[in-house]
Amino acid sequence: MSEENRQDGDKKQLRRKIPRVEQAAILLMSLGESDAAEILRHMGPKEVQRVGVAMAQMKDVSKDDVSFVLNEFVDAVGGQTGLGVGNDDYIRAMLTQALGDDKAASLIDRILIGGNTTGLDTLKWMEPRAVGDIIRYEHPQIQAIVISYLDPDQAAEILATLDEKVRLDVMMRVAALESIQPQALQELNDILEKQFSGGSGAQTSRIGGVKRAADIMNFMDRAIEGGLMDSIKDMDPDLASTIEDLMFVFDNLVEVDDRGIQALLREVSSDVLVVALKGADDSVKDKIFRNMSKRAAELLQDDLEAKGPVRVSEVETAQKDIITIARRMAEAGEITLGGAGEEMM
């Protein structure tokens, strides 16, 4: 009896380690095509992409896992009141109280401004090269606004499609941006041939800035990032130094606290982690191993030793995937990114 209970407890503990994105994938696959499609219509492009990848990689899902995910979903829904509050002031106050002024600012802008910028949101669904073609011959300031609004990883890919001189000009403008007037949004609206809602009394919106420039640089190919940083140093050494201080790269994970690393590892698949660690410093590997159970650390070390040579591009992609998850969790207030990306207290 006790042995059976212990085994049930082990199964439950294992199921709790299912990453959230995989839980979402299991739930959607359980609903059927039509219902799942209806849900996906209300999700953002990055969310759809992440869930889609998880669904494509899903194999041999056990009945216990499906039951666990469905029960988790029912419990979560059961805790909701059904009361929808669509008040901007309420949302601002709630997120600021939960995350603090700095962390909440970008998220608030993304939520509240996003509702009035359907044209920009449409760009998030497009391939980076297609977006690059759309803005290629526009004024650099318009290009900078578009780049600042989009997610850093997509923005980095778009910049890679532009000429080197244009790329430098746009990045300098991104770093200099502080806010955007409604008139600028209207001009961008005309370019995209979309209509924005909202009246002339709209407030300025925070967008761009040195931190945004650093975020975008984090997702660039290393060769492009290195050349662009050298060009920025030639034009403005102080700005280049500030951007470098704000960049958060894979090696900075050593400065994240243990609780944050443990939370991050629960969201990262073992396959991605193995590839990412193939090109990591020993200090990063030690940090990861220390925050795993002894058995899990031994298995990971065995996987690293058994893994053959990996292309540098694959390592960089895996490391960027993990940094993307870390940044998403930081924006949600789930972990704190230490090191270069943090201000001194």
| Residue 176 pLDDT grade (very low, low, confident, very high; cuts 50, 70, 90) | confident
pTM of the predicted model over 0.75: no
> Pick from 116, 131, 239: which is nearest to 177 by CA?
239
Amino acid at 180: I
Q: What is the Cα–Cα distance from 148 to 175, expressed in whole angstroms?
A: 9
Tokens (6 digits) for 231: 């060009």
For domain 115-246, the question of CATH label 3.90.105.10 is answered with: no
Most confident stretch, 126-140, 234-248, 276-290: 276-290
Non-local (6+) Cβ contacts of 57 within 8 A are: 269
- Give, in order, the Cα–Cα distances in Å from 46 to each of 14, 151, 312: 27, 9, 24
Span of 11-25, 35-49, 96-110, 171-185 with lowest mean pLDDT: 96-110
Q: Which residues contact 36 (CB under 8 A, 6 or more apart)?
A: 28, 29
Helix/strand/coil for 124? coil
Of 45-54, 94-103, 242-251, which range is least confident?
94-103
Reduced to 3 states (helix: H, G, I; strand: E, B; else coil), residue 7 is: helix
Q: What is the pLDDT of residues 246-270, one digit of tens each?
A: 777 788 888 888 898 999 998 888 8
- Between 142-156, 197-211, 216-230, the lowest mean confidence (pLDDT) is in 197-211
Question: Is residue 201 over pLDDT 70?
Answer: no
227 SS3 class: helix
Mean pLDDT over 87-111 rounds to 59
Nearest to 15 by CA among 63, 76, 82, 83: 63
The CATH class of 2-78 is: mainly alpha
Q: Residue 180: in which H helix or E strand, if any? A: strand 179-180
Return residue ranges of the chain for CATH 1.10.220.30.
115-246, 251-341
CATH fold, domain 251-341, is Annexin V; domain 1 (1.10.220)
> What is 80-118 written as a DSSP string?
--------HHHHHHHHHHHH-HHHHHHHHHHHHHHTT-H
